[in-house]
Each structure stands twice: as C-alpha cells, then as structure tokens.
Structure 1
Amino acid sequence: MKRFDLAIKKLYKAFLTNELHPECCKQCAVGNILDNTDSWKLLSDHHGSLELNYIGNVHQSFGRKFNGYTPSELLHIESTFLKACGYQIPLHHKHKKPKNPTDKDLLFNGLSAVICLLCEFDGIDNHMDYKQLSNYKSKKPTTHLV
C-alpha cells in the first residue's frame, strides 16, 4: 500500500496547492505521482491513450515500475483523470475539452475518479475523506495532508 499512500499524498497536495493541471504533463495526475516529471509521456504516442507504444511495451514486458506503477497503470490513471475532468481522449485540439481546465470542481471530479481507480488497483476500500477536501474553495486544507 506504500505506492497508494505516496500517490494520494502527492495528488492531495497538488490539488490543494493549485498544482494539478490536466493539460500539463508534469502537473497532471500521473505527472504529480511521478514527482512532476514528464518522461512518462514517452510510454504512449497520445496523451490520454490507453495504448502503450513500443517504449511503453518494452518497459511493461520487463516489469518496469515507476513509483510503483506499471506503464499500463499509469496510462489508465491519466485516461481516468482526463475523462473525469471532461476531456475527450486522447487529447487533440479538435476534441472536446473543458473551458476552464483548472476549475476546482472539475479537478475534484478528476481527483475523485483517480482515487477510486488507485483503490481498485490495490484492492482496498475507497476511504477518501471528502471532509478534508470539501474546504478547497477556501484554499486552506482542513488538516495537514503532507
């Protein structure tokens, strides 16, 4: 459960400090989980796609993990985040996208969907404490999360 705990802390922090952005490969869900790096985007040819490219397949076949997550899990996390934020995937300038990608309600939807997925990955009950995040409009966390 260590990967789950680390991922949740990073995502909560990004959400609460306005560092969660669906269109930025370093500040999206996966970018934050991977310590604000964008090297993960080399695993697929299209942002939001579930299809691994050659590089992604090589890493997957070797059992490579990035902060505990396989390449296919990372793509699934990002796809889930983007869909829940209102994007048509894969990202493309002609596809549907929200007018304000940093809207807190929109990001909360994305965060909630990713947390549900991470719980599924690790076979744990979803114990997301909505009370801790319900105060996001005041821009002050109700508890110390990180």
Structure 2
Amino acid sequence: MKTSQRLESAIQKLYIAFHNNTLNPECCQQCAVGNILDKTDGWKHLSDEHGTLKLNYIGKVHQNLGRKFNGYSPLELLRIEHAFLKACGYQVPLHHKNNKPENPMDKDNLFKGLCEVIEFLCRLDGVENVMAIQDLFKKRATKFHLFSV
C-alpha cells in the first residue's frame, strides 16, 4: 500500500511518542497534533479551545490561504486532535468542568487515542487503515481458505 509522506511521518512521530511516554493529551506540545508538528504548540493559536473543531480568526486566515503544517491544514489538525481527545475519553473541547479520564496517561486510553488518530489520518489520505489488524487476519485466512468473508 502506498502512503503519503505526511502520513508516514505522522505515524512515525506518534509511534515514537507513544513508546517514549511522551504522548500527553493535556499538553499542546505532546498531544497528537503537538507530536505531529515536531513537539511544537503554535497550532494552539488556530482555535480558541483545545479540542474544538472551530477555527478562530487566525485559523481561518491560514485555512483560506491554503497553509499546511507538516502537510496538514488547520482544520485537519483540529479534527486530528478532536479525534484523539475523544478516543482518550475526554469531553471536548477541554474545559475544567468537562469530563475527562481518571488517569489521562493510562496506556490503554492513549492507545485508543493513537488508534483513532491513525485511522483518521488514513481516511484523510484515502488509504486503508494501517492499524486494522483484523483485516490482515481476514485476508490471510481467506488466502488459506480458513473461512469465507
């Protein structure tokens, strides 16, 4: 399967962050988008709330100018972060009154968020989900006639 450079780079950065314990949903430099953007937090100025899908004035300007950040538009970045936070168990946008997971750094929650982000990134690029292990098993089983699909 052929994937884009932006997808390859994003998956590699997220994989490294997950395994180095530097994936943190509550930090703009270590969240999904922060890691994709090389551990920077400048992207937080594209919206007024962490986890929202609504671009602010600055975000709209960048979006309308066609700006890309490591290959992703401002709206795509907000959608990536939104998917990550929701899958990690947060009520979005983030706010001290909204629900959040009991242990934000729980590896199971972070893995759910990681999987959701990778699935979303694959959809953005129009490729099969590289994390869909069940599909790999189905293809292998069909090849060996273990069951019909």
TM range (shorter): 0.7 to 0.9
Distance in 2 separating the partners of 1:73 and 1:29: 12
* 2:54 paired residue number: 51
TM-score, normalised with respect to structure 1: 0.88
Distance in 2 separating the partners of 1:98 and 1:121: 27
RMSD: 0.9
**Structure 1: unaligned runs, 5 residues or longer:** 131-146
Deviation at 1:127, TM superposition (A): 1.8
1:23-62, Cα deviation, whole Å (9 max, x unpaired) = 0000000000000000000000000000000000000000
SS at match of 2:124: helix
**Structure 2: unaligned runs, 5 residues or longer:** 134-149
Distance in 2 separating the partners of 1:35 and 1:50: 21
Q: Percent of aligned positions with the same letter in both sequences?
A: 66
**2:76 is the counterpart of 1:73:** yes
> Which of the numbers 35, 45, 49 marks the counterpart of 2:38?
35
Distance in 1 separating the partners of 2:28 and 2:12: 18
* 1:133 paired residue number: none
Structure whose alpha-carbon radius of gyration is higher: 2
Residue type of the alignment partner of 2:91: Q
Deviation at 1:65, TM superposition (A): 0.2
Q: Which runs of 4+ in 1 moved over 3 A?
A: none
Deviation at 1:129, TM superposition (A): 7.0
**2:99 is the counterpart of 1:96:** yes
Distance in 2 separating the partners of 1:98 and 1:50: 20
